[in-house]
């Protein structure tokens, strides 16, 4: 693609991969038709090895507080949007569905996202990427692209994501709890209502708006 920037990550080190994602000038996502510059990951053509990239994501998510300490919140927000974006060929949302990789590697990648919330998102306020992370990953179940009734990885991955979201929901951070509720509201797992019910029972003094959002998520009625 002539108008795309070309990247080859097949021999990249972990540090080079992190720089590829985050060491960027920040460009706001443009409103439709306003002619603003597009974020770098909208025009990236990437050659990469899925096994290596999956291992890099696991390392990044497991130790984000030390790996990303040199980047601004704005750079982090943009980088995490790139990681979850359907525009980027090596996005984590694509890697976890790459069936050339063993399922246990992809499962580990999803489970490592708990530490991303525990160690980074609970401490560094980002504009939107942390809240929308699970929207990007779970929305396929909301719109029917994936369904538990199909069995196979639709069911297996749904269970992995559900377990990870349940752990994030128990973190002492309202921002993390909101993100987990957002994901649960789109994932449509059959055990969602009792998990959210237990969450609310443990927080009798919960903010009214957060409680309202939690109840909507339990009904799979979040946007």
pLDDT at 34: 56
Query: In which residue are the tokens 């130790």 written?
Result: 63
Q: What is the pLDDT of residue 8?
A: 98
How many residues are present in the chain?
223
Burial, 154: exposed, middle or buried (Cβ in 10 Å; 0-12, 13-18, 19+)?
middle
- φ, ψ for residue 23 (rounded to 5)? -85, 70
The predicted model scores a pTM of: 0.94
Q: For the residues 190-206, what does the mean pLDDT come to? A: 96
pLDDT in tens, 176-187: 999 999 999 999
Nearest Cα neighbor of 117 from 159, 185, 166 is: 166
pLDDT-based confidence at 127, cuts 50/70/90?
Answer: confident
**If you average pLDDT over residues 133-148, what whole number do you get?**
97
What pLDDT shows up at residue 28?
82
pLDDT tens by residue, 5-59: 999 999 999 999 999 999 999 998 766 555 678 899 999 999 999 999 999 999 9
**Three-point CA angle 25, 139, 119, nearest 5°:** 55
DSSP letter at 118? Answer: I
Mean pLDDT value across the chain? 94
Kindly report which listed range (34-38, 54-58, 85-89, 141-145) carries the lowest average pLDDT score.
34-38
| pLDDT band (50, 70, 90) for residue 2 | low
pLDDT at residue 120 in the model: 96
């Amino acid at each position: 693609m002539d108008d795309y920037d070309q990247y080859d990550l097949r021999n990249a080190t972990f540090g080079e991969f992190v720089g590829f994602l985050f060491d960027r000038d920040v460009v706001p996502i443009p409103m439709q038709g306003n002619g603003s510059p597009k974020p770098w990951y909208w025009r990236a053509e990437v050659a990469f090895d899925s096994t290596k990239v999956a291992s890099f994501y696991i390392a990044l998510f497991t130790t984000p507080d030390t790996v990303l300490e040199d980047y601004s919140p704005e750079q982090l927000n943009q980088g995490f949007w790139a990681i979850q974006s359907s525009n980027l060929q090596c996005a984590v949302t694509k890697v976890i569905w790459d069936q050339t990789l063993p399922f246990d590697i992809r499962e580990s990648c999803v489970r490592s996202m708990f530490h991303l919330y525990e160690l980074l998102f609970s401490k560094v306020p980002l504009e939107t990427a942390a809240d929308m992370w699970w929207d990007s990953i779970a929305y396929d179940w909301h719109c029917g692209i994936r369904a538990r009734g199909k069995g196979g990885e639709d069911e297996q991955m749904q269970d992995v994501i559900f377990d990870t979201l349940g752990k994030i929901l128990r973190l002492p951070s309202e921002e993390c709890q909101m993100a987990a509720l957002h994901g649960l509201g789109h994932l449509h797992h059959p055990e969602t209502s009792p998990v959210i019910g237990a969450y609310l029972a443990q927080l009798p003094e919960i903010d009214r708006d957060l409680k309202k959002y939690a109840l909507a998520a339990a009904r799979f009625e979040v946007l």
